[in-house]
Amino acid sequence: MSDDLERTITGLYRNQLEAAPDDYLAAHSANRAVIRRQVEAFEKYLPFVRRKKILDWGCRQAVDACLLRRHFGNRVELHGCDVVDGRYEVFHDYAKLVYKQLDSPHHLPYEDGEFNTVIGSGVLEHVPNDSESLKEIYRILRLGGHFIVTFLPNRTSWAEALNRALGRSHHRRRYSKGGIRRMLLHHGFRPVHLSYHQVLPTLAGRANSDPPGSVVASLIEGLYRLNDLAERLWLIRGLAANIMIVGEKRRTM
């Protein structure tokens, strides 16, 4: 399944960039390793997706929604929201996404208990107030629904430490496994999955200097094949770039 999903996402990036050049998209499709990490994260959280109404929260180009559409076909209803305008037509059209641009980073324009699953891929660390956002996610999820968080910056990541030392960090906050677990519990979610992911680098921010086929891009793609092994080594996985957590909405008193 991985190769098929990679080809689908690679094609979407190519077509979207041909339609409208975009530095953000170029950086997030710089080499095969960048695409692969998105697919690997999807395959890890896929067992926790609850159908049939799903929200891709802070979706931007909505890669996760596209992966869900490719996997489930028309068996799911996909929604997306972000503070940016919905200009990623190639992605959004493929996902058949019902997109809403947000007026507020905290208020989500949805009904109570509207969704079975909410996915936040690289979002929680960027919002102004993560606690207020978690309250909204809890509100719009159905009882027993899942909140899936991926690409959450790991406090003990070697890559985060290096980027901060070089002045390149763009994350508002970093999290520990224990810290995010306690935060979700505090906001009414029962953690059902918690793990590290992406130990090896993808150099996602070097799209212009390391185009596909370059020596550096080829080296990164080759090394990234060892990522799955690295994530299973307990002495190494704690240095991963990201944390993944899935929380189930439970009834509060």
The pLDDT tens digits of the residues spanning 196-235 come to 988 766 666 544 445 555 555 566 666 666 667 767 777 7
Tokens of residue 130, six digits: 């993560």
Q: What is the DSSP letter of 156?
A: T
Number of domains observed in the structure of the chain: 1
What pLDDT does residue 229 have? 72
The pLDDT tens digits of the residues spanning 122-139 come to 999 999 999 999 999 999
What is the number of other CB atoms lying within 10 angstroms of the CB of residue 26? 15
CATH code of the domain in which 155 resides:
3.40.50.150
**What does the alpha-carbon distance between residue 54 and residue 60 come to, in Å, rounded to a whole number?**
15
| pLDDT beneath 50: ranges in the chain | 206-209
> Among candidates 137, 79, 148, which has minimal Cα distance to 113?
137
pTM of the predicted model, to two decimals? 0.89
What pLDDT does residue 209 have? 43
What pLDDT does residue 160 have? 76
Domain limits for position 201: 2-249
